[in-house]
Structure 1
Amino acid sequence: MTSDTRSIRATAGKGKAVRERRSQADRSAETRDKVLAAAIRLLHEGGYSAANIKAIASAAGVSLGSLQHQFPTKAKLMAAVVDQLARKRIEAYRAAADHIDDPWKKYGSVFDTTWSVVKEPEFAAVLEIMLARRSDQELRDETGPSFATNEATVKEWVLHLGEQAGDEVRAAEFSRTLSNTLMYGLAMQLAIGFDREEAEELVSYWKSLIRLAGRHPELLPERLRMGAKGAA
């Protein structure tokens, strides 16, 4: 065997190993995606108790061992669900805002984007996790950092847009909290069968009220009135 032949075979062997490693990484990512999708579906359709590890593995079409290789505990899987929604939410904010030049309209786009995310199955799944945390210490400990980090990221993004639009920070935070409370409540209602058209009507009406209140800062709590500017 010539040195050239040995070199070619060695190179081919390395290429094969790289392809195998890449293939393993691809398979691992595919398994992870299937498990997360199954977990979200079961959380959305049947609630937290229905989304047990065996049921999720079955729905994902993977072995229990493969699932547990990715997520050793249910709590870790639930934290991954929370993180996935947070990434989707930030991506949605940016996608909606990036093509808008006017700072105030860009800031106002947050309302519609939040609602578009909140009414999706992923958000209903996260609501189930939030409720389950009340009585599950392991779940609370495992998902706590995800909830805290993700909320801080979203809040920073939204308030940054508000600052660019000239809204007073405390008033912007108040409006965001109030609107989120309404939309989160509607998301829970939708999960238990609330009429979607009526939900859309309520959100549209609320958006109009927010715009009206923006022209009347005297309606804000007294501590927030100074320098307040409402939604366009």
Structure 2
Amino acid sequence: MPVPRSRRTQAERRATTRARILGSTAECLLERGYAATTISEVQERAGLARGTIQHHFPTRAALLVGAISHLVDSRIERFRAEAALVEDGPGKMQAVVDLVWRDLTSPVFFAALELWVAARTDADLRAALVPEEKRLFASMRELYAGTLGEPYTSDPRVDTLVEFTVDLLTGLSLATMLAPDGGARDAVLARWKRALAVLAGLLPAVELLDGPGTIGP
């Protein structure tokens, strides 16, 4: 005899609907941009009544603030899942650089970028975005350190090297967003991996000129 399926609670239904709305909002930000991400557009994408959307997010501003938290949570969850697959070994530092690069070229990042640009001139959006971005960066730094493990975690240089990596790769992602050049991009990534190894004391400085070398603890 089949086991009857348990009915979802009201809280579970609410969470599912909210996630559906925010997922549609993220898709709209990525595909249409900030200006076109309206309640009507999200309603159509989500396949929900306008009243349902506005029950969860009464205004467009509330919807976009909700999208900020949703995008941050999505990036943290995705990075944590991928970081768990990184294996120990001499290539761990390079693997973490690759993780950061995948995050900064993911659809979720580019959807968040739409909100960053809009927040430059929207004080209310900026006020909601800044604490969420601080939460994101704090979680990411913790994940980077945890993924690297020792001897990197206790190395006082690692925090700075992580900041350099995020800043460099963010700039590279933006630079290649409109005019992608796979060869130039891959060359920059390879050079930065070697530079990190030199800065961390894993390779002699000559490796920056001579080639990739072997990077390991």
5+ residue gaps in structure 2? 206-214
Aligned to 1:83: 69
Return closer, same or farther for 1:100/1:125 CA change in 2, 3 Å cut-off: closer
Query: Would the aligned equivalents of 1:103 and 1:165 in 2 still touch at CA under 8 Å?
Result: no
Q: Provide the secondary structure at the position in 2 that maps to 1:127.
A: helix
State the AA in 2 paired with 1:131.
V
**Cα deviation code 1:1-20 (max 9, x no counterpart):** xxxxxxxxxxxxxx9xx83x
Deviation of the 1:183 alpha carbon: 1.8
State the AA in 1 paired with 2:188.
L
Aligned to 1:65: 51
Q: Provide the secondary structure at the position in 1 that maps to 2:150.
A: helix
Task: Map 1:162-181 to 2 at 5 A.
Answer: 164-166=150-152, 169-181=155-167
Task: State the distance in 2 between where 1:42 and 1:199 align.
Answer: 27
Q: Provide the secondary structure at the position in 2 that maps to 1:164.
A: coil
Return closer, same or farther for 1:198/1:107 CA change in 2, 3 Å cut-off: closer
**Cα deviation code 1:121-158 (max 9, x no counterpart):** 11011112112112111112223322222222222332
Q: Provide the secondary structure at the position in 1 that maps to 2:74.
A: helix
Q: Provide the secondary structure at the position in 2 that maps to 1:166.
A: coil
* CA-atom RMSD in angstroms: 3.4
Task: State the distance in 1 between where 2:17 and 2:93 align.
Answer: 37
Task: Find out whether 1:153 has 2:139 as its counterpart.
Answer: yes
**Cα deviation code 1:81-111 (max 9, x no counterpart):** 3333333333344334435563875555322
Aligned to 2:209: none
Return closer, same or farther for 1:172/1:36 CA change in 2, 3 Å cut-off: same
Task: State the distance in 2 between where 1:89 and 1:80 align.
Answer: 15
Deviation of the 1:159 alpha carbon: 3.4
Normalised to the residue count of structure 2, the TM-score between the two structures is 0.73
Aligned to 1:129: 115
Equivalent pairs counted in the alignment come to: 203
Higher helix share: 1
Aligned to 1:210: 196
Instruction: Determine which of 119, 129, 132 is the counterpart of 1:143.
Output: 129
**Cα deviation code 1:22-60 (max 9, x no counterpart):** 265454334323322222222222322122222222222
Aligned to 1:182: 168
Query: Would the aligned equivalents of 1:162 and 1:172 in 2 still touch at CA under 8 Å?
Result: no
State the AA in 2 paired with 1:130.
W
Task: State the distance in 1 between where 2:79 and 2:187 align.
Answer: 22
Higher mean C-alpha displacement, 112-121 vs 36-45: 36-45
Return closer, same or farther for 1:100/1:54 CA change in 2, 3 Å cut-off: closer
5+ residue gaps in structure 1? 1-14, 218-230
Deviation of the 1:64 alpha carbon: 2.4
